[in-house]
Structure 1
């Protein structure tokens, strides 16, 4: 099967646990691109800290970001599609986070906002540094004119599990997903990586069976099941592996490169 589009999650999939893109994986993606496969990074990150990986590899095209809420063109950084989030409905969620000491941020396509950027805990500062983001002071709703993309809660695994259990009892007007052990994301109810990938593929005339998707977490399931070939990383939870067609090596073993060499470069 010739795959015309390869959709790749970034953290826990493309990158190893040190947030590194290895030379072996990079060269593999460049080779696949030269053979005609379009590489589309599909991340919970925003365009600002996803596009640089494409630029580093000399690749153009598109990135699907904020878990599908924002699709951007690499070279121009133009937003070609977005599922805008209703900010007014977030107030009960924000009140809950403030009352229960749950760190949160609010994302536009290219901006990330927090309550007090100058007083962030060390673990939160390190998280933003790893994701190459500089948080800004959250303005009032009236002063936040740009459409919202995503709301994210961040904290220890046990805290995030408890928060998710609580919010699942609420009648939230959002799509809620876990993009990692320490993150809960709220987005437009129609937003997901799978929905954004479907929309992009339709605009390019690419059928699902001509798409290969690789991911490692719950927020990747929609794109793994949409693509003709869905591949889970070995470091994925069992539910993600069950949703995929096959499992490759872990992100620390360059599983993306091995899967592409097997199915696209035909190196076995």
Structure 2
């Protein structure tokens, strides 16, 4: 069956390890779009630092962001769907992070808030620079009136492993996912890339067998299993590869371009 929608993770999938979108990958995706396949970026990033990649390729449509918590229209930046999380329930996680020296940020659809943006450690500052985000100072809960999309803890892999293990013993009111070696995300319990992709596809009358999804990490599994063809990058953990129908080359070998060329352009 013809692929009508291509769902692509961004970091570790679409981009190489230098956070670059290669010219050949861009060319392949533009050709796929011209052939009738809609490109939808599905990222742990927010709309503000996901939409620019669509703009660079001259593509419109939608981006699924914050791991499925926010779906936005590219041209208008309008939020067409969101899974808003309960901010009050975050207090124990904020207290844990502050007590244990774990960096965290709180995300609305387009905003990212931290405790002390002017005093960030170099490693944290470089991370935000790579993700094209400028952190704002976290206000009091009562002053944060925009719906919350995601809570993210960031740190060395050993620290994140410990956090994930400890939070996993809590009675979590949120969906917790590992979106990278150095990131743990908390969201609305119904939010995921797969849930957002399903909602978007159904609104367009697109069935799973008409969807190609490509990703590289645990937060991609829900969309890989929802899509008729789910493809994992070669740089994926083994559990992600096991959940996929197929494995393509790594993000540093332009695996996305190879997969789209094989399943969309060559048919």
Per-residue deviation, 1:84: 0.1
| Alignment match, 1:61 | 61
User: Structure 1 regions of 5+ residues with no counterpart?
Assistant: none
| Alignment match, 1:219 | 219
| Alignment match, 1:157 | 157
| Alignment match, 1:246 | 246
Per-residue deviation, 1:204: 0.3
Per-residue deviation, 1:10: 0.1
TM-score by length of 2: 1.00
| Alignment match, 1:178 | 178
Distance 2:94 2:260 in 1: 41
Per-residue deviation, 1:159: 0.1
Distance 1:67 1:255 in 2: 21
Distance 1:239 1:180 in 2: 14
TM-score by length of 1: 0.99
Per-residue deviation, 1:14: 0.0
> Does residue 90 of the first structure (1) align with residue 90 of the second (2)?
yes
The number of residues matched between the two structures is: 267
Deviations 1:147-204 (A, max 9, x none): 0000000000000000000000000100000000000000000000000000000100
Per-residue deviation, 1:123: 0.1
Q: Which moved more, 1:6-15 or 1:258-267?
A: 258-267
Distance 2:144 2:160 in 1: 27
Distance 2:11 2:3 in 1: 23
| Alignment match, 1:75 | 75
Does the residue aligned with 1:264 lie in a helix, a strand or coil? helix
| Alignment match, 1:104 | 104
> Does residue 135 of the first structure (1) align with residue 139 of the second (2)?
no
Per-residue deviation, 1:114: 0.1
> Does residue 208 of the first structure (1) align with residue 208 of the second (2)?
yes
Distance 1:254 1:157 in 2: 26
> Does residue 188 of the first structure (1) align with residue 188 of the second (2)?
yes
Does the residue aligned with 1:262 lie in a helix, a strand or coil? helix
Deviations 1:112-141 (A, max 9, x none): 000000000000000000000000000001
User: Structure 2 regions of 5+ residues with no counterpart?
Assistant: none
Per-residue deviation, 1:19: 0.0
Distance 2:260 2:90 in 1: 40
Per-residue deviation, 1:247: 0.1
Runs of 4+ in structure 1 over 3 Å off: none
Aligned-residue RMSD, C-alpha? 0.5
Distance 1:209 1:176 in 2: 28
Does the residue aligned with 1:20 lie in a helix, a strand or coil? coil
Distance 1:212 1:25 in 2: 16
Per-residue deviation, 1:50: 0.1
Residues 2-81 of structure 1 aligned to structure 2 (within 5 Å):
2-81=2-81
